[in-house]
Amino acid sequence: MNIENKIFELVKESLTALYDIEVAANQIQISKTKKDFEGDLTLVVFPLLRISKKGPEQTAEEIGNRIIAAENSIVNEFNVVKGFLNLSIKTEVWLTSFNEWLDTTQFGYAQKPSDKTLMVEYSSPNTNKPLHLGHLRNNFLGYSVAEILKANGHNVVKTQIINDRGIHICKSMLAWQLFGEGETPQSSGLKGDHLIGKYYVAFDKAYKTEIQELVGGGMEEKEAEKSTKILAQAQEMLQKWEAGDTDVRALWEKMNGWVYEGFATTYKNMGVDFDSLYYESDTYLVGKEVVEEGLNKGVFYKKEDGSVWCDLRAEKMDDKLLLRGDGTSVYMTQDIGTALLRYKDNPSLSGLIYTVGNEQNHHFKVLFAILKKLGYKWAEECYHLSYGMVDLPSGRMKSREGTVVDADDLMETLKNDAKTATLERSQIEDLSEGQQEQLFQTIGMGGLKYFLLKVDPKKKMLFNPEESIELNGNTGPFIQYTYARTQSILRTVGNFDKTVETTIALYPIEQDLVKLIGEFPNVIKEAGDNYSPALIANYVYEIAKTYNSFYQSISIFKEEDVAKKQFRIALSFQVGEVIKNGMLLMGINVPERM
């Protein structure tokens, strides 16, 4: 039983003894004591005044005295602030719990599996361009949420939908046909996804040139945007693709193959993976079948031009197009098919989490509403993990104009920046060249991932590459350095006894560290409940910051009291374990030395 549960039972027993009544569990409100007040846990007294029939301060005093007098009390003192009873836990209780944590494998993680299987979708790129900075936040967020859910005992399936068809894909294909002269990743020396992205930009350039020419000839700009020859060619290619044209399909498979090889390299460098893949080229067909069935059942309706729509007036939303008049599908069509396939492939699925930027908020409201109209009960289990966009000092990125911050380039830049910074401040000559390169990669990626994950997912953020790898402040490298510091201590000590005496006196900062360690299980649970790696990030920073204050102010190896020295070594070990496991939940590795 954890300390909070013990306090709950103590409060319950005290209330029964004082007022001769069984109190409902929801009336006993216990939380962590606010930093401005003295104490560890706080009981809110106001809900209990009907039972005590006394004022808040008097009620709190009575309960506090009764708790301290209890035979099994773990409280050594209390104070009352208005209607709040602040309780201080005995040091030996904290140390007893600390010994239990030392003896727990993967402390903080759920010790028993839940009965839930959750699917987390993230990345979900288009095969017409490489991954960029926005994809980095998406991938790191989705992967981290999946790992946090695993730590909460859930079975997790990590997945993505690869958007491998549509007009945007045909634009890259057409531009390669028109301008590529047979260029390949091998002949160009470019990663496949970078090569295809080059032709997506080339299409946009040619398209805008045609628009300018038409406008120059007297056509209205909006009309010109619809009338270019190159756009008509791309639309024709899409129709041929959907009709199964042999040549178009062969070109599509070849160019997508180049992209997949490029993506695989990027994902490896990101440190993310997937358990299952879905392709829009498959799922849109399932979606079309579902839409046809819905039309036959009267769930959807058809307009005079042959297009199929869903009436969403009852949901206070505009009607949604599901099939165009020419029979071609839209994004919503394939998303319906993808959701259906996922639940068909995973019958035990109890939740589906879509990690997608907040510009798609309305899209997912519509998707879930349509799935409910189709009668799928599991639609209630679908959740959109909406996150804010990543901006740069120069403004928003635009793929068509080639102004994105490429994911591969950014990761390589941060690795090189980490190399420069590490060589300036560290003595790592005894590491092999391979070990040094791995260290630079670990620090660079740690800085990048932590910077993108420490902000609440719902918030828009400004990314600063230089700040992300700084060694001071709320950064990944600062936390990594703290872990390396704990490991340096443990290397100096060698083997040590992981059981500490519970009768020693602790300095306040030592007790603060023990309390912080004890919060880890609750932080993991809260992060899982809220799909928020930011809660893990800021907790790990807090414990790293506190440990560094401890390290600077209290001696470990000069301590003459063997029991206290032993505790401080064990404290360093457990802080290291919490940092390592907390960082792993964000997909961040920690080095043994820096």
Domain boundaries, the chain: 3-89, 407-584
Look up tokens 């120059």; give the residue: 216
Report the candidate in 89, 17, 12 with the shortest Cα–Cα distance to residue 511.
89
Q: How far apart are CA 72 and CA 194, in angstroms?
A: 67
Q: How far apart are CA 278 and CA 258, in angstroms?
A: 18
What CATH number should be reported for the domain whose range is 407-584? 1.10.730.10
Report the candidate in 233, 230, 239, 250 with the shortest Cα–Cα distance to residue 329.
239
Kindly report, residue by residue over 122-148, the tens digit of the pLDDT.
Answer: 999 999 999 999 899 999 999 999 999
Question: How many alpha carbons lie under 13 Å from residue 114 in its C-beta half-sphere?
Answer: 18
Q: How far apart are CA 364 and CA 369, in angstroms?
A: 8
Is the alpha carbon torsion for 333, 339, 343, 344 positive or negative? positive
pTM: 0.92
Is the alpha carbon torsion for 173, 178, 179, 183 positive or negative? positive
In this predicted structure, what is the pLDDT of residue 35? 87
Kindly report, residue by residue over 16-49, the tens digit of the pLDDT.
Answer: 999 998 889 999 999 999 988 999 999 999 999 9
Residue 270: CB atoms within 10 Å: 22
Q: Is the pLDDT of residue 376 over 50?
A: yes
Whether 10 and 75 have beta carbons less than 8 Å apart is answered as: yes
Q: Is the pLDDT of residue 451 over 70?
A: yes
In this predicted structure, what is the pLDDT of residue 428? 85
Kindly report, residue by residue over 244-286, the tens digit of the pLDDT.
Answer: 999 999 999 999 999 999 999 999 999 999 999 999 999 999 9
The chain-wide mean pLDDT, for the chain, equals: 94
Q: How far apart are CA 389 and CA 408, in angstroms?
A: 19
CATH of 3-89, one of 3.50.50.60, 3.30.360.10, 3.30.1360.70, 1.10.510.10: 3.30.1360.70
In angstroms, the Cα distances linking 43 to 27, 55, 112 are 10, 15, 29
Question: Comparing 72 with 161, which gets the higher pLDDT?
Answer: 161
Q: How far apart are CA 369 and CA 361, in angstroms?
A: 13
With 0-12 / 13-18 / 19 or more C-beta atoms within 10 angstroms meaning exposed / middle / buried, residue 162 is buried
In angstroms, the Cα distances linking 432 to 281, 415, 438, 443, 591 are 46, 17, 10, 17, 14
Helix (H) or strand (E) holding 386: strand 382-387
In angstroms, the Cα distances linking 361 to 79, 154, 372, 458, 468 are 47, 26, 17, 11, 29
Question: pLDDT band at 2, cuts 50/70/90?
Answer: confident
Look up tokens 């270019």; give the residue: 228
